[in-house]
Structure 1
Amino acid sequence: MPWLLLLAAVLRTIMAFRPGFHHPDAIYQYLEPAHRILTGDGAVTWEWRVGMRSWLLPTLLVPPMTLGEALGPAGPWPVAMPRLAMGAASLSIVWSAWRLGHRHSPFAGLLAGFVAATWFEFLDLGVQTLAEPAATAALLPAAVLVTAARPSRRGAAIAGSLLTLAVLMRPHYAPAVATLVLVAWWPWRTEPVAWSLWGALIAGALASAIVGAGIDMANGAPPFSWIVENVRQNIVSGVAARYGVSPPLTYVTWLLQMWLVCAIPLAIGLRTGWRACPPLLGAAAVTIAVHMLIGHKEYRFIYLAVVTIVILSAIGWCDIIDHAVARWGERERPQLRIALIAGWGIASVLLAFGPVAQAHRRQGGPGSRIFAMLRDDPRTCGVALVYGASYADVPGTTGLRPVTPLGLFWFADPAAHGATPWQSVARNQSGYNRIVGSIPKTGTPPRDYREVYCEPASDVIGMCLYARPGGCTSTQGSPFRLNRVLARMVF
């Protein structure tokens, strides 16, 4: 087990320092609010303006971000350290996989732990500052505790606390949490210990709920009001639909696109592996079903289901090996086990280079590399993003030195009074000595600016960095400061 955790930690450390982000939400829903808590500066998107986001995860990211800023004004630390913290939290999934597999056999524990440590999706998403990986990291060990052969009160209390944290991170996982506990504890419903277990579970849940409520109030928000507002905005008002609506079976399509031909052996392993933890499979099925009913879909939303399917499939393949040994003889067992471990490792590497996985991995890469250059340059005193370089393509104020003004020059902005974004930045260039524009280019930089570096376009937007000599005047009253544009344009 320690070697599995070490392997997982090394791989996640590498991924934490990789430029880019899986989705803009990793920056603007979590890192930027954490940056606001720490420095008072950070982007405020429409979700935060209407109060439909929890302060829990941003608050938990403040300590590693504080450490990142303390490591120096240059370097990737303020973004990388929170990712390292997320990667450390995701080690709970490796432990959970090992425990679930070990209930079947020591080799099943080894294989399940190895797969959890090395599977490409667990590495890609496990270090992202997103609610789904955080919720899954809390939910998996809770599943181990509630499905124990003889659940204990202490285990039930810890599980209740973890499950509540998971729901506070991702409220959409609440039906999965309910399914997990009810299916796991249904056989205990008539036992005298049942009331004791439920009492301990509820006590643990209340402890986490109190922490969550306290964090909300510390940040000036009524406790859990964000849940009500989230439902009102996304379900009642249908605001999420403006970001795209997909048919119910989209998740099935995405899973096939992500896993390609390996979807077949994954399904074969799951056919027997589900017996290792039926309540967890039930939670995964409910997760997919709930999200199929929601119009706006993103692959990361069903991360809990992805993790569950992969781990249970790995355990199922140990059963298949046992059947093969029974047929071909005990002497073949070592070779079959080595081949099975190697097969899972090779499959993970090959799928990591699949088109969908690579597209996810390249998201935010150009903007992150450009902003890394800006953070490393002490002469940067103001940065202008010019359409089509969007705030969603860069790591926000978190990726710059503290209190570096960030401006956004967008098309159809009423504050531009009919001028193009490039015309507006030319008129306001005294407040910015660095410009970030897109590839393909949408205009020409002012004459005092020279091209410093360009990130070519691929399946994500490319970017160019332009610089002029000299410093910046104050932009405090500028209508083009990022938060003023976000509020004006309802971003």
Structure 2
Amino acid sequence: MSATAYWHRITARPLPWLLLLAAILRAIAAFQPGFHHPDAIYQYLEPAHRLLTGDGVVTWEWRVGMRSWLLPALLTLPMALGEALGQAGPWPVALPRLAMGAASLSIVWSAWTLGCRRSPTAGLLAGFVTATWFECVYFGVQTLAEPAATAAVLPAAVLLTAVRPTRRNAALAGGLLAFAVLMRPHYAPSAAALVLVAWWPRFRFGRDALPLWAALIGGGLAMAAIGAGIDIATGATPFAWIVENVRQNIVGGVAARYGVAPPLQYVTWLMQVWIVWAIPLGIGVYAGWRACPALLATAVVTIGVHSLIGHKEYRFVYLAIVALLILSAIGWAELVRRVRERRNIATIALFVAWGLAGSLLALGPLARAHREEGVPGSKVFAALRADPATCGVALVHGASYADLPGSAALRRGTPLAMFWIDDPVATHGASPWVAMARHQAGFNRIVGSVPRTGTPPPGYRTVMCEDATTVIGLCLYARPGPCADTHASPFLLNRVLARRGF
């Protein structure tokens, strides 16, 4: 078989193979220990655990009412299945991550579809990149708002930029964009940019376009009604969480206490993650942006809006990262198409180059640091979940709840206590370890930090220690015997968080 015939055979029906490849990589990632950011646990998995079991950690964001219940409500279904699979094992955390990975397959489909509008090779390369690129795989399984929103925006971009959009597709796109905004309201300007750039040249606001605009708005309102219904069902005023979010973070400046970065920080991070590959990525974007100008506008607006906000995190611009990767892949496919001699060899080399780049960049320092977040805590809590003798767990400074995967990763009903520095109720001037020893009857397992900041009480043995790498290390200590009066303790994690304003 000639090289040309072999290439045509591979590219005849690539989408199922691309989706299968993406699904396998995301399934592997979903079962890896760790989590990208404490928000993945305490803003989404823990609220889902509370909806499912009535038990879970409540952080200050939920106490003041600045989060939507939409994503936690969706995560209760895979979490319930995980709980049904057994008390031991990673299922209640891994299955919601697996569900997020399944949702992220919409990005692969979208990239393939947008690329195929230029050429089959562009579709194959764009789909391959989003299926395998390390950021798409890693963030794709995180239980965070940004990946969920991105998984909705990309198919909306496909629907809106079709040659002949239908009212049905417009309504579906409106629902997807509204879902993305409910996930992360900061993406509202990005959604608006996508619609305006996609439709303005052809439809504008003429009479012929009114049915499409009506369908788009109707789809958005339908999704907003679903979001409002979930708010009401959970005892909240519809969309009051958006107002409170703005009041807390923008008016009150609460987000600034978690760090403020300069306007160009996202550019700096992208350069640190992509290193020298940023140059060919930029060349590809320059060559491919005409394939979907609306997607470029979405990326630019996403980075621009978030650059104006003082508190910055890399995940906030995940939508822009995916959009730029897709445009760059399409652009490079277009550049290779222009090579008239030995085209198939050049195309194969292009796929190899993208695959190697994604694999090598995943080993970079910033990418590795992201990947190692939460790994020690996840391993320690996996050991606790597997141990049926655990009746109460105490976290001792500096083992913070933020380094651990929450009560969702423990057996149902396992109490969590925390002894923290400067907590007057817990310490009375004593160190957290001393205070913990005075009240150890309420738990029989201790999680402490590496290096150790104190000594476990007599009778405790070291079960395991996960040493620090780029993140905090943790040790697990255990004593035999039951727990007493745990649920009456003032040191239960939710009571300490409320007391300390965490």
TM-score, shorter chain, exceeding 0.5:
yes
1:448: Cα distance to partner?
1.0
Looking at structure 2, the residues matched to 190 and 73 of structure 1 have their Cα atoms a distance apart, in angstroms, of 57
Report matched runs for 1:441-452 at 5 Å: 441-452=452-463
The yes-or-no answer on 1:108 pairing with 2:118 is no
- Aligned position for 2:146: 132
Report matched runs for 1:46-445 at 5 Å: 46-187=60-201, 188-189=203-204, 191-325=206-340, 329=341, 332-416=342-426, 417-445=428-456
Matched residue SS, 1:57: helix
> Quick check: 189-198 or 62-71, which moved more?
189-198
Looking at structure 2, the residues matched to 430 and 184 of structure 1 have their Cα atoms a distance apart, in angstroms, of 63
1:191: Cα distance to partner?
4.7
The yes-or-no answer on 1:468 pairing with 2:479 is yes
Deviations 1:336-375 (A, max 9, x none): 1110011100100000111100000000000000000000
How many matched pairs? 486
Matched residue SS, 1:213: helix
Looking at structure 2, the residues matched to 202 and 83 of structure 1 have their Cα atoms a distance apart, in angstroms, of 31
Instruction: Look up the equivalent residue of 2:395 and give its one-letter code.
Output: L
1:13: Cα distance to partner?
0.1
Deviations 1:82-114 (A, max 9, x none): 000000000000000000000000111001000
1:474: Cα distance to partner?
2.4
Tell me the percent identity.
71
Looking at structure 2, the residues matched to 17 and 436 of structure 1 have their Cα atoms a distance apart, in angstroms, of 22
1:323: Cα distance to partner?
2.0
Matched residue SS, 1:463: strand
Looking at structure 1, the residues matched to 56 and 162 of structure 2 have their Cα atoms a distance apart, in angstroms, of 44
1:457: Cα distance to partner?
1.2
Deviations 1:225-244 (A, max 9, x none): 00000000000000000000
1:192: Cα distance to partner?
3.8
Q: Which runs of 5+ in 1 are unaligned?
A: none
- Aligned position for 2:496: 485
1:190: Cα distance to partner?
5.4
Q: Are residues 40 and 77 of structure 1, via their aligned partners in 2, closer, same or farther at CA, if it must alter by over 3 Å?
A: same
Matched residue SS, 1:324: coil
Matched residue SS, 1:377: coil
Matched residue SS, 2:338: helix
Instruction: Look up the equivalent residue of 1:10 and give its one-letter code.
Output: I
1:459: Cα distance to partner?
1.3
Looking at structure 2, the residues matched to 202 and 310 of structure 1 have their Cα atoms a distance apart, in angstroms, of 29
Q: Which runs of 5+ in 2 are unaligned?
A: 1-14
Matched residue SS, 2:486: coil
Cα root mean square deviation, aligned: 0.7
> Quick check: 114-123 or 316-325, which moved more?
316-325
Looking at structure 1, the residues matched to 204 and 312 of structure 2 have their Cα atoms a distance apart, in angstroms, of 36
Looking at structure 2, the residues matched to 366 and 240 of structure 1 have their Cα atoms a distance apart, in angstroms, of 26
Deviations 1:178-218 (A, max 9, x none): 01101111121255431000010011111100100000111
1:126: Cα distance to partner?
0.4
Looking at structure 2, the residues matched to 49 and 193 of structure 1 have their Cα atoms a distance apart, in angstroms, of 48
Looking at structure 1, the residues matched to 346 and 469 of structure 2 have their Cα atoms a distance apart, in angstroms, of 41
User: So what's the TM-score if we normalise by structure 2?
Assistant: 0.96
Matched residue SS, 1:172: helix
Matched residue SS, 2:262: coil
Looking at structure 2, the residues matched to 294 and 287 of structure 1 have their Cα atoms a distance apart, in angstroms, of 11
Instruction: Look up the equivalent residue of 1:238 and give its one-letter code.
Output: G
Deviations 1:131-185 (A, max 9, x none): 0000000010001000111111010000000000000000000000001101111
Looking at structure 2, the residues matched to 186 and 456 of structure 1 have their Cα atoms a distance apart, in angstroms, of 55
The yes-or-no answer on 1:15 pairing with 2:29 is yes
Report matched runs for 1:4-43 at 5 Å: 4-43=18-57
Looking at structure 1, the residues matched to 122 and 103 of structure 2 have their Cα atoms a distance apart, in angstroms, of 23
Instruction: Look up the equivalent residue of 1:77 and give its one-letter code.
Output: W
User: So what's the TM-score if we normalise by structure 1?
Assistant: 0.98
Looking at structure 2, the residues matched to 460 and 186 of structure 1 have their Cα atoms a distance apart, in angstroms, of 47
